[in-house]
Amino acid sequence: MQQHDPILLLSKQFSGELTEVEAVELKNWLHQSSDNERTAAELRQIWTACDTYAPGFAPDLEADFQKVQARIRATDAPRARVVSLGRRLMQAAALLAFVATAAWAYRAFQASPNQITATAQDQPKRTVDLPDGSRVWLRQGSALDFPEKFVGSERRVKLRGEAYFEVTHRSGQPFRVELANGDLVEVVGTQFDICQNNQENSVLVRSGKVHFQTTTHQPATLLILEPGEKAIHDLARDTTRATKVLTFNELAWQTGGLEFVKTPLATVVADLEEFYQVKILLRNAALQQCLHTAPLTSQPLGKVLQTLSLTYQMQVLHTTTGQYELVGGTCQ
């Protein structure tokens, strides 16, 4: 198997061009020593400071890097010098810094699209239409940075907080969402939700296919998510897992209500508690796995509980403020 230069792999990782095979190779190199991990962290700082991946500039890093290596080999060959890994890494770091500086200079003399920041502060949600026809629902307290026009080989936006995306398909120009910690979500055309907080980042896919790439102290992890799947990146433990969801009701802030399709009654009760911010006790354990179906609704909680009581012949007790009990009943 061909071994790639680790610095080249790092640059491709930073620019979001690393393949799955290359990601494994980079991971193995990083785990070889703490010096390798430290070098990767330093190069990431250089890359971030220069913001080399802005739209409108797409250098062929691999081709340029191979040219520089060829010149080094041609210069060193007559003297048959042995260049240590540390020396070579310093040379590569210098090259990376040069490329970053060149990118900055290039952008300084090019007309780049103006950046727009949309926020949702004093409202539960805000709808934002992007220049490619995609639509974004920002949840309260969230913000989205995007250009007034998408140019180049990608459509990249930056998200802080939570948002629901309906992305318009555009062949050859993938849509990428960069999160606050560097995690990256990539799609072509789909519907999905991204949620960030101090504990975790999560991606929930409603339709289409989503690539979720985590960028942390460890090498990147790439998950491919299908409809009905959710990935959670635990920031404290630096772990990522994918699960199937039974409902999409955590998106109720965007849809405006709850919807159930053959959902276990225990999950129905949990979703009602979350949406209406109450406590509901299902006393009859035999009903927990009863499958419940109901269309999207935003009715008052009293009407929803009344419907459940008629469907399953239960008694609804309002024991105290914010707390209810469902007693008796049979599974239909």
Domains of the chain: 6-108 (no CATH), 115-244 (2.60.120.1440), 256-327 (3.55.50.30)
- Give the phi and the psi of residue 323 in degrees, each rounded to 5: -140, 135
CB of 89 closer than 8 Å to CB of 39 = yes
Residue-wise pLDDT for 121-131, tens only, equals 888 899 999 99
CA distance 305 to 319: 14
- Helices 85-108 and 34-50 cross at an angle (nearest 10°) of 10
Question: Which residues have C-beta within 8 Å of that of residue 191, sequence separation ≥ 6?
Answer: 164, 165, 166, 167, 205, 206, 207, 208
DSSP state for residue 169 in the 8-state scheme: P
Tokens of residue 234, six digits: 């635990």
Residue-wise pLDDT for 221-240, tens only, equals 789 999 999 999 999 888 89
Q: Which residue has the higher pLDDT, 218 or 117?
A: 117
Residue-wise pLDDT for 84-122, tens only, equals 555 555 555 555 555 555 454 444 444 456 899 999 888
Q: What's the predicted TM-score (pTM) here? A: 0.61
